[in-house]
Structure formats: C-alpha cells, structure tokens
Amino acid sequence: MSRVSNAQLPGHEVKDLGLASHGKLRIEWAEAQMPVLRLIRSRFGLERPLEGLRIAACLHVTSETANLVLTLKAAGAEVYLCASNPLSTQDDVAASLVVDGGVSVYAIKGEDNETYYRHIESVIGSLPQLTMDDGADLVSTLHQRHPDLLGGVVGGTEETTTGVIRLRAMAADGALKYPIIAVNEADTKHFFDNRYGTGQSTLDGILRATNILLAGSTFVVAGYGWCGRGVAMRARGMGANVIVTEVDPVRAIEAVMDGYRVMKMANAATIADVILTTTGDVNVVNQVHISMLKDGVIVANAGHFNDEINIPALEAAAIETRMVRDFVREYRLGDGRRVYLLADGRLVNLSAAEGHPASVMDMSFANQALSAEHMVEHSQELQCQVYVVPRDIDQEIARLKLHSLGIEIDELTPEQQRYLTSWQSGT
C-alpha cells in the first residue's frame, strides 16, 4: 500500500494508489524507448514554454502517455488527465502518476459510461487553457456542456483519426470555438503509430485474449486505411490468409495489389475465423453479417469507438452469453453457433494488451508536445479550425528519431537543390 497520505496528493480518482511502484517501473521502461520525447523534455525543462498552463488531457492512460504528461509538467504545465476509453487505462500507471508524478488523474480500467463522463467533467473542472484529446469526447463535452469555459481555452490537439473527423465536422458546422492541431495528420504519427503500432498491438491483443494460432486461419480486416494496412501486414506475417473489406475503391485496389483477397463483408463473414474492424465507421459487422458467421468466429475491433460491430444485434441474436476468458465473451446464438467478442468491441490492442510500443508512441507524443508548444506560441494567429502539424515539426521529429537510431541519411547537394527547383533542363 502507498505510504503517501491522500491530503498530500493532487485530486484524483484511480483504482488503487498501492499500485504506484509497479506503475513507476513501467513508466521508466517506456521512457527508455522514447528518446525523442526525452530530448524534448530536457529542452522543456530549461525553457519552460508551458509555464502555468492548465492542460486537460483525455488520452489512453498508458505508460507512454505518462511520459508525455511528465514532459508537459517539465515544461511548466499543470496537467489534469482522464481516460479516452473506459477499458484502456493502466491502473498502476494512473496510480504512479498521482503518487510519483503529482498529476491529477481520473481514470479506472473498466469504468462504466457514467464514470467515464464524470472523469471528463473532473478534468474540465480545472478550467483548462489547452485541451489534449484522443477521439474528441473532451472537446465535444466542453463545447456542449460548458460553453462558458470556451473563452478561456487557447487551443487544443487531437490524437486520432476519428477525433479529427469529428472536429472537422464541428468546424464545418461553425461549432468549434478554438483552434485544434490534428496530431494524427502528421506523417510521423499516422505512418508509424496507426500502421506499425496498431498492426503489432492489435495482434498482441487478440493473441493475449485468445491464444489462437494465426497460421492458416482466415483473418478478415475491415478497412484498409493506416491501421488496417498494418494489421493485414502483420497477420499475413504470422501465416494468416488475410481478406480485406473496403468501401473506398482506391484503398480496395491497393489491397488487391498488395496481394490480399478483397470482397464484401457479406461474403467474408461466411468464411472468417477472425474478423477485425478498424474503419472509424459504424455497423461494419451488421445484423445480416452476424446471421452468416461461422461457429467459433472471433470478432474484435481496433477502431476508436465500440460501434463498428453491431453489439446490440449480437446480444439480440444470443440466447446465452458468458465470459469464457478475460476479455472474451461468448455469445451462443439460437441455432447453436458461438461468436466470441473481444473486449466488448472496444479497442482490442489497448483493452486486452498494452497498446502501441513506446518506440512508436515516442514520435506521436513528440508531435503532441511540440504541437502544444506551437499552439501556445501561435494561438493569436489561429482561427477556430483544424490545422495540420507544421511541416518543420514533423521533419524535425523524423530527424531526431533517425538520430536516436544511429541512422544517417544523405543531404541534397547545392547542385541537386538547384536541379529539383528548376524547370529549364529536360531530356
């Protein structure tokens, strides 16, 4: 148990402060693989670019996020953290952030919807000047329930594809009341985090939950975006026969030329051993598909929200449900078929495993930290819109990552620079 009395600690609601020492070790393990963020933290410690700034952050509470939060603290910010998904919190990390980091954390793994939103309200109670969101639940709650606080917010950042889509919809409606930087749109974010991070950690989540053999299985990936490409690539690497479903003809033809079978979900559902959705869309595995699934199929989701699989339809079709392993719920249907849903259809990589490896989150969270600094420096010039991460930040993060890996690349010579900006010389 923790020897720190509650009175000395910042405001919090976490599962068990006694888990702090274990969480601290995990935060240190992640830190060792986050060299770019460490460099930024050192500079922030000297320059204090976020001095006194109140940041409300709604992010997956993982060991990597803890390193981001400690970096923001080193820059002088006060950080108030809640979870961006009810199942993604690492309780020991949350405890260590409170006890060792002095950070206000409101997050408990497995919290119900009411608690999830109460925790978002708790961080809003800090009267934030900057928001850091993953999925836009914080920004949406702030705008809908606390319009009086919007004037005090200089700007925000958004981590994921689904959040960026929601925020662009808010901007198009004229509803967005402060500028946002879409961290997801940085090349050093989605090329790596969405593709290699989701690719690896999604398989990790499926395997930790089920321990199935992927080799020889028929593995359906719904959505061939950045995440879907990664999952398909890694599943094939482990010997699965991968099928892709898509609605975008360009992405579909890309999947074909990458060597996958592409078909409608209605056809894929009849032969799948595993179905993994990662589209950011709703009802991708629908009631009709559920009626066609093979006995014993495993269904999981890596998209942001738990509405890609029609869980109410699955529940309606079931005559019995039971938990058969951690994160594995069996639905026995009227005709005797069994369907296994992982992690209640929530992000399987963060629920049943630990989310992305720290090495990839190093770049994503370097983007978050530098975008927060950029937002504070430039908030006066920005409109109530969604902005991409400035190109120089993106390039600098890639440069630092390469440097940390000990990899050097060529530079353009003056002759090459002239050549690449000229039009006169041809064949």
Ligand X SMILES: NC(=O)c1ccc[n+]([C@@H]2O[C@H](COP(=O)([O-])OP(=O)(O)OC[C@H]3O[C@@H](n4cnc5c(N)ncnc54)[C@H](O)[C@@H]3O)[C@@H](O)[C@H]2O)c1
Q: Name the minimum Å distance from CB 55 to ligand X.
A: 21
With respect to ligand X, which residue has the nearer C-beta, 159 or 373?
159
Q: Name the minimum Å distance from CB 123 to ligand X.
A: 20
With respect to ligand X, which residue has the nearer C-beta, 194 or 371?
194
The residue number with the shortest CB distance to ligand X is 225
Q: Specify burial of residue 44 (Cβ count, 10 A radius: 0-12, 13-18, 19+).
A: buried
Q: Name the minimum Å distance from CB 133 to ligand X.
A: 11
With respect to ligand X, which residue has the nearer C-beta, 162 or 188?
162
Strand partners, 243: 220, 261
The answer to whether the beta carbons of residues 64 and 88 sit under 8 Å apart is no
With respect to ligand X, which residue has the nearer C-beta, 228 or 345?
228
Q: Name the minimum Å distance from CB 128 to ligand X.
A: 22
> How far apart (Å, rounded) are the C-alpha atoms in residues 403 and 391?
18
Looking up tokens 């068990």, which residue turns up? 16
Q: Name the minimum Å distance from CB 162 to ligand X.
A: 4
With respect to ligand X, which residue has the nearer C-beta, 356 or 374?
356
Q: Name the minimum Å distance from CB 3 to ligand X.
A: 35
Q: Name the minimum Å distance from CB 197 to ligand X.
A: 6
Q: Name the minimum Å distance from CB 245 to ligand X.
A: 5
Residue 294: count of CB within 10 angstroms of its CB:
14
The answer to whether the beta carbons of residues 346 and 83 sit under 8 Å apart is no
With respect to ligand X, which residue has the nearer C-beta, 104 or 301?
301
The answer to whether the beta carbons of residues 282 and 307 sit under 8 Å apart is yes
Nearest to 191, CA basis, from 27, 409, 389, 59: 389
The answer to whether the beta carbons of residues 348 and 202 sit under 8 Å apart is yes
> How far apart (Å, rounded) are the C-alpha atoms in residues 97 and 81?
10
Alpha-carbon radius of gyration of the chain = 22
Strand partners, 274: 219, 298
Q: Which residues in this chain contact ligand X in the complex, by CB under 6 A? A: 160-162, 190, 194, 198, 222-228, 245-248, 251, 278-281, 284, 302-304, 347, 349-350
With respect to ligand X, which residue has the nearer C-beta, 210 or 245?
245
With respect to ligand X, which residue has the nearer C-beta, 160 or 371?
160
Residues 6+ apart with CB under 8 A from 57: 65, 69, 72, 79, 80, 81, 82, 123, 131, 132, 133, 138
Residue 364 Cα distances to 146, 193, 194, 356, angstroms: 29, 7, 10, 10
DSSP H or E run through 219: strand 218-222
Q: Name the minimum Å distance from CB 227 to ligand X.
A: 3
* β-strand pairing of 328-333 with 318-325: antiparallel
With respect to ligand X, which residue has the nearer C-beta, 96 or 202?
202
Nearest to 341, CA basis, from 313, 311, 364: 311
